[in-house]
Structure 1
Amino acid sequence: MITKKWAVTSFLVVLLIIQSFAWNADHAEAAPVLTLGSEDPKVSDLQYRLQVLGLYASPLDGKYGPGTEASVKQFQKEHGAVVDGTVGPTTWRKLRMYTLSKNDMEIMAKIIYSEARGESYKGQVAVGAVVMNRIQSDEFPDTIQGVVFQKNAFTAVSDGQYGMKPNRTAYRAAIDAVRGWDPTHNSLYYYNPKTATNKWIWTRARTVNIGRHVFAI
């Protein structure tokens, strides 16, 4: 006779196995080694990331040609990686820290718009900069999905405002934030002092005030 406890335990074990396979498959697919002559769907992703940074201006053709290689070398030089033009695990890791995919940029624009649409342009870039700082910090998840959808991390996600359609300004602010404009001075947090109810956030060291938001580390 199969007991309820045994059935639940078995289900959890199977679920963990499935998740493990999914995790490994996703990460294996997400990090192919790309080099001169490569033709892979990830080349287009690579080219898009470099394009957002202003390092690549040619079409996103999915072909790893000399132009793509030169852009990769420039990125590697700027971010302390071995300048060899090969996109292996180390370069992919840095790309994920300092760039976003096309789908990720949509998430960035949505969180900027939903959290800061009433702020100045600088204030909107500042919210994006906090997201990028969190991705690069060991204290937070290392993907924009993990950062934005972390429980209770952003009010706009909790109350549903995140679902609104971003405007062009939010997309421009997203690009500037990804390119490294950080008016917050490396802040990891921000809050509106008129509405903040979490006493813990007031204990963080302030860096700058921009519009209605106080930024802190």
Structure 2
Amino acid sequence: MRRLIVTLLAMTLALPVSAEAVSGELSGMIRKEQAALAKLTKSRIDSLFRRVSSGQVGSIKYTRSFLDALPEAQGGKSLTCLSEALYFEARGETVKGQFAVAEVILNRVDNPRYPDTVCGVINQGTGRKFACQFTYTCDGRKEVITEQATYARLKKIAKLMLSDMQKPLTKGATHYHTTAVRPKWSRVFPRTATIGVHHFYREPTRISSN
């Protein structure tokens, strides 16, 4: 890009110069830029996500425009599980709320009381109707992803969260519920945040019997 700017400046200052020459040089350089971008490997894309999540390339912005500027997210089973959970649990939330739900899932992965994998946490209790941890996995309805643009954006959130980025939004929360309900455990779990239509809670080390 620096070379492109320098070349254009030099061509502008050089006399005489034809419009055809400028157009031809510019078109050629744009084609080279596009060819270079097309050669980005999966490892290079992963590296970009890691750099963004670690703060090396600016800070995380909880906006759609920030996510749309990132490359397509690719990955394995953990990425798929987390992306689907965000889609079925939080696709109607704000971007910040979607990051917060992802934090809860990964906080559980780090908590010895829960399975130690993303897919294990999400599917805990699945098979018993309405006895699972995340309702969409056991409500008896088929999960169908119809909003592809939304899903692609949520995959980018999942990719960032799986790249060891910090989790500052929910302060270690392992539970959440919508503001429309009030489960019994919410009376004894300390609330750590309210983001969008969700309250977030951290599971206490010991729950009082009183």
Q: Which TM-score applies when normalising by structure 1? A: 0.52
**Which ranges in structure 2 are unaligned for 5 or more consecutive residues?**
1-41, 52-73, 126-131, 203-210
Query: How large is the Cα RMSD of the aligned pairs?
Result: 3.0
Instruction: Choose 1 or 2 for highest CA Rg.
Output: 2
Q: Whose helix fraction is larger, Structure 1's or Structure 2's?
A: 1
Percent identity of equivalent pairs: 28
Residue 178 in structure 1 maps to residue 162 in structure 2: yes
TM-score calculated relative to the size of structure 2: 0.53
Q: For 1:10-29, list aligned pairs within 5 A.
A: none
1:158 aligns with 2:141: no
Provide the C-alpha distance between the structure 2 equivalents of 1:190 and 1:120, rounded to a whole number of angstroms. Answer: 15
Residue 191 (str. 1) matches residue 177 (str. 2): yes
- After TM superposition, list the pairs within 5 Å mapping 1:126-145 onto structure 2: 126-145=100-119
Contact 2:50/2:160 (8 A) holds in 1: no
Tell me how far apart the structure 1 counterparts of residues 116 and 48 of structure 2 sit (CA, whole Å): 19
- Return the offset for 1:163: 1.8
Alignment match, 2:86: 112
Question: Contact 1:114/1:162 (CA < 8 Å) preserved in 2?
Answer: no
The structure whose RCO (Cα within 8 Å, separation 6+) is larger is 2
Q: Which residue of 2 aligns with 1:33?
A: none
Residues 113-141 of structure 1: CA deviation (Å, up to 9, x unaligned): 10001100111111111111111111111
Unaligned runs of 5+ in 1: 1-44, 56-99
TM-superposition CA deviations, 1:5-40 (whole Å, max 9, x none): xxxxxxxxxxxxxxxxxxxxxxxxxxxxxxxxxxxx
Instruction: Write out aligned runs for 1:16-55 (5 A).
Output: 51=47, 54=50
Q: 1:140 to 1:49 in 2, by over 3 A?
A: farther
Deviations 1:152-208 (CA, angstroms, capped at 9, x unpaired): 211222225672326112112212222324221211111113134x31233210101
Structure 1 Cα separation of the partners of residues 45 and 114 of structure 2: 22
